[in-house]
Amino acid sequence: MAAVQSRRYKVGRQHIVRGDCLRVLARMPAETIDVIVTSPPYNIGLSYKSYPDRRDEEDYLDWMMTVAESLKRVLKTDGSFFLNISGSSAQPWLPFELVVRLRELFVLQNHISWVKSISVGDTSFGHFKPMNSQRFLHRGHEHLFHFTQRGDVSIDRLSAGVPYQDKSNIARRGHQQDRRCRGDVWFIPYETVRGRSEKFDHPGTFPVGLPEQCIRLHGRKKAKVLDPFMGTGTTLVAAQRMHCEGVGIEIDDDYVAIARRRLMEDWLDQ
């Protein structure tokens, strides 16, 4: 593949770099990023426009480790790296194979289950993607791995928390506010869509609420946020809404254009 020439764009405090993430990361200064929130290609055959999502598994894992080494270099010593990744029903081991390898570079401080759809009793919540197989259950969750450099990063559990259902717990447990830890299972559903055009013609988007919760959990005001696989800009939209500076890297021109448009529309709406 020919080298991709970098181009840079700015919307408010959000910076978009069109280019290959390894080349762009190599030029970034060390230890300058507070929070990384990203969802890389899953290597399960999704139809991206400019990336073949079907590498040999060892090649994919080696490539991801090279990316992770670059991310470790730019992440502050007290920074957080949130990695959203999923396997498929036919390839369930891949996320865990990657996480085991990442032990060489990071400490897994929290493992969060991002629930996209769930049934409680006879009621269903969230978007259930059709499942045609007679062998597998519907996949209603993905993994969100929270890595840090040493495993000792203090987080703001209450900013990312929820109100108490039983208000007597506030005084009884000595809390200063109506807020408790959300735990490590987050139900953040997609808005129901009828086709890829409503997902910006991208096969692997996540809702803005996911990176927002990650930034809140890290708990640093005006954090500098990075997404090395920016896609259509969801992490930068979250950073913008959280009054943070963001950097997004994306190799595909079409996705960069969508991200710029989304950021401008969101900025004008504020």
Task: Give pLDDT tens digits for 30-46.
Answer: 999 999 999 998 776 55
Q: Does the domain formed by 7-269 have CATH 3.40.50.300?
A: no
Rounded average pLDDT over 243-258 = 95
- For residue 7, the cross-strand partners are 18
Of 60-69, 166-175, 201-210, minimum mean pLDDT range = 201-210
Rounded average pLDDT over 135-160 = 94
Residue 151 backbone class (left: φ over 0; alpha: ψ -120 to 50; beta: rest) = left
Over residues 114-132, the pLDDT tens digits come to 999 999 999 998 888 777 8
Mean pLDDT, rounded, of the chain: 89
pLDDT at 1 over 50: no
Give the CA distances from residue 248 to residues 211, 223, 261, in Å, rounded to whole numbers and listed in that order.
13, 14, 14
Neighbours of 96 (CB within 10 A): 12
Neighbours of 187 (CB within 10 A): 17
pLDDT at 201 over 70: no
Distance (Å, rounded) from C-alpha 15 to C-alpha 18? 10
pTM for the model stands at 0.90
pLDDT at 76 over 90: yes
Q: Where are the alpha helices (DSSP H) in 9-92?
A: 21-27, 57-74
Q: If you compute the radius of gyration of the chain from its CA atoms, what whole number of angstroms results? A: 19
